Amino acid sequence: SDFQLGDFPDYMRKEIAEQPDSVTRALRGRLDERFATVRLDGLGLDARELRSIRRVKFLGCGSAYYAGEFGANLVEELARIPADSEPASEFRYRNPVVESDTLYVAVSQSGETADTLAAVEELNRKGGQVVGAVNVVGSAIGRACGRGVLLHAGPEIAVASTKAVTNMAVSFGMLALLMGRVRDLSTADGQRIVAGLRALPEQIQQVVDSESEIAEAAKRCAHADHMFFIGRTRCWPTAREGAQKLKEISYVHAEAYPASELKHGPLALIDESMPSVVVVPDDELLAKNISAMEQIKARGGPVVAVTNAELPQGLADITIRAPRNSPELDPILLSVPLQLFAYHLAAELGRDVDKPRNLAKSVTVE
């Protein structure tokens, strides 16, 4: 059952391995091949209402905020609507402009995070349209929103979120597809995204099956006190979430940077003791990502490439491979090796991965 560890040493490892099933649950009954779209009835928005939305803002804390960044990228790419993600913990304190044609998405695994709930309440007071993306049915945030998309990740017990974050991103892929298909996303692109979503569980399984290589890579980095996680554009949220996972369970300092920003400052930190995990999707920025890796190598920095592209021989010290999906969905798939990397690095350091120090599973106080 969901609450039994079975053969797994801890819940985090179990929840990572479960993702082919939890993603399958998120997709079940929602993909519409015929019309190259999805059904998300719980949103309570018909085509006309979806078309009238001019902006999308995702609100969540921690990993849910990063999941919102995947969502914002997907909405901008597939629906061509301006979108962003903001820490829910900041939202109410800056007297935000609440617009009636913005769709607000409150993102939370537990549905009980006090800061996210407070953001929803502020929106409700000011007449913002807010939908939930929550995992726990009947939770406070789910009730305060009254409608939305259920994540269907199943119970998540480890403090570090893995399968819930993946289902958040997958759900936002579906939301973006839905919004795109009532605007000007073509049938062909819609079909490509539906096929990509459908392929995810099997492809995630392939990543999970390569766990021993990822564990080996993590062991080789376990001496480091600081690490960079490099990723840009679509994979910027991948890098941020990868750094977050490493920090919370291993206590190793990790910082995410877009590859393009390295030369504007952080390159000064690179030396033999500072590994960089570089997320390299096979997209239009491949050549630029390769040159970022060369810059890191030239300063003696160890490079771990997490990639679904063919990289020049000898460029990366360690290469972690993932399958190819479509460019829009690759960032979700490339996050799974980073979960396993953080897990195995923390395990190598003897950390209590399920219950990292100073953290609670859901932060119900401010």
Q: Which chain residues interact with ligand AGP by CB under 6 A?
A: 61-64, 108-110, 113, 116, 159-161, 248, 359, 362-363
**Residue (47 or 360) nearer to ligand AGP, CB:** 360
Instruction: Please state the closest distance from residue 63 (CB atom) to ligand AGP, in A.
Output: 3
Please give the Cα distance from 317 to 33 (Å, whole number). Answer: 41
* CB-CB contact of 141 with 113 (8 Å): yes
**Residue (196 or 356) nearer to ligand AGP, CB:** 356
Q: What are phi and psi of 345, to 5 degrees?
A: -65, -45
Residue 54 has, within 13 A of its CA and on its CB side, a CA count of 5
Instruction: Please state the closest distance from residue 298 (CB atom) to ligand AGP, in A.
Output: 34
Instruction: Please state the closest distance from residue 25 (CB atom) to ligand AGP, in A.
Output: 17
Q: State the first-to-last Cα distance of the chain, in angstroms, to the nearest integer.
A: 33
Q: Which two tokens stand for residue 92?
A: 């109410």
Active-site residue flag, 361: yes
Q: Which two tokens stand for residue 169?
A: 């991103």
Please give the Cα distance from 77 to 185 (Å, whole number). Answer: 10
Please give the Cα distance from 53 to 183 (Å, whole number). Answer: 11
**Residue (72 or 193) nearer to ligand AGP, CB:** 72
**Residue (108 or 335) nearer to ligand AGP, CB:** 108
Identified catalytic residue from 126, 297, 355, 361: 361
**Residue (37 or 70) nearer to ligand AGP, CB:** 70
Residue 126 has, within 13 A of its CA and on its CB side, a CA count of 19
Instruction: Please state the closest distance from residue 265 (CB atom) to ligand AGP, in A.
Output: 26
Q: What are phi and psi of 319, to 5 degrees?
A: -120, 125
Instruction: Please state the closest distance from residue 122 (CB atom) to ligand AGP, in A.
Output: 16
All residues at 6 or more sequence positions from 111 whose CB lies less than 8 Å from its CB, including other chains: 132, 134, 135, 136, 138, 139, 140, 141, 142
How far is CA 120 from its chain centroid?
A: 21
* CB-CB contact of 106 with 119 (8 Å): yes
- The three-state secondary structure class of 303 is strand
Please give the Cα distance from 314 to 296 (Å, whole number). Answer: 13
Q: Which two tokens stand for residue 339?
A: 């979960």
Name the closest residue to ligand AGP (Cβ).
62
In terms of residues, how long is the chain? 366
**Residue (162 or 308) nearer to ligand AGP, CB:** 162
Instruction: Please state the closest distance from residue 44 (CB atom) to ligand AGP, in A.
Output: 22
Instruction: Please state the closest distance from residue 68 (CB atom) to ligand AGP, in A.
Output: 10
**Residue (73 or 116) nearer to ligand AGP, CB:** 116
Instruction: Find tokens 């939890």 and name the residue.
Output: 22
Q: What are phi and psi of 303, to 5 degrees?
A: -120, 125
| Residues belonging to the active site | 361
